Amino acid sequence: MIIGNVVKEVLSYKRGQLQQKLSSPEAFVNSTFGQALQNETIKDMKATTQLSKVEEGQKVVGETSVKNAEPLQVAQQEFTRRFADPNSTGKDTWELTGKYNIQSIRSSNEGKYADVIQQVSDTYGIPKTLIQKMIEVESDFNPNTVSSAGAMGLMQLMPANVKEQGINNPFSPAESIEGGVKELTGYLKKYNGDLVLALAAYNAGPGNVKKYGGVPPFQETKNYIKKILNIDVSK
């Protein structure tokens, strides 16, 4: 236990040094690693462009695509991937983390599908903590989960939702996470940022939310909201 804590502290310190040294994409792109990354990226772009033109029967002339390369953009993506704060809550369009007590996931699930969750959080403005907790409650991060009702994948999407969201493979972590978050986003818009109602709709369907004028009196739905937000909707 003590050794583990010491290792964590050392890694945290080293990470802090790197973040301070490479405190911005501009600094990163000018670093030794950043320069090497740009060189490799440009080589790849040259090879891809030439291969594409050869396949099309065109003569390879010049290196226009290389001139149009944007090394800073490449560095920004790599900088974010390598040094983004893992404790960041991601984008939060509806300020949900300030309004609700989103529960933490178990330590054993930390880091799972982190890249996908970060990307989806940035795209739809849903905090990472909420996405993570929903996945844990829905499937415990098992992408092959199928419920007795037929819900599939990490976000337990029903066949109708899979079709509606245009998902090709509901067992694909990336497709499932984006599909589930996209669905939740629609409910947040529908209920003006009310996360309790949005989660109720996600679990029991918007038809039942409308029918009962709020959270449906289903024990499963009540438990679902309790696990994610620690709110007792029975009161």
Cβ neighbours of residue 144 closer than 8 Å, sequence gap 6 or more: 153, 171
Active centre residues (catalytic): 138
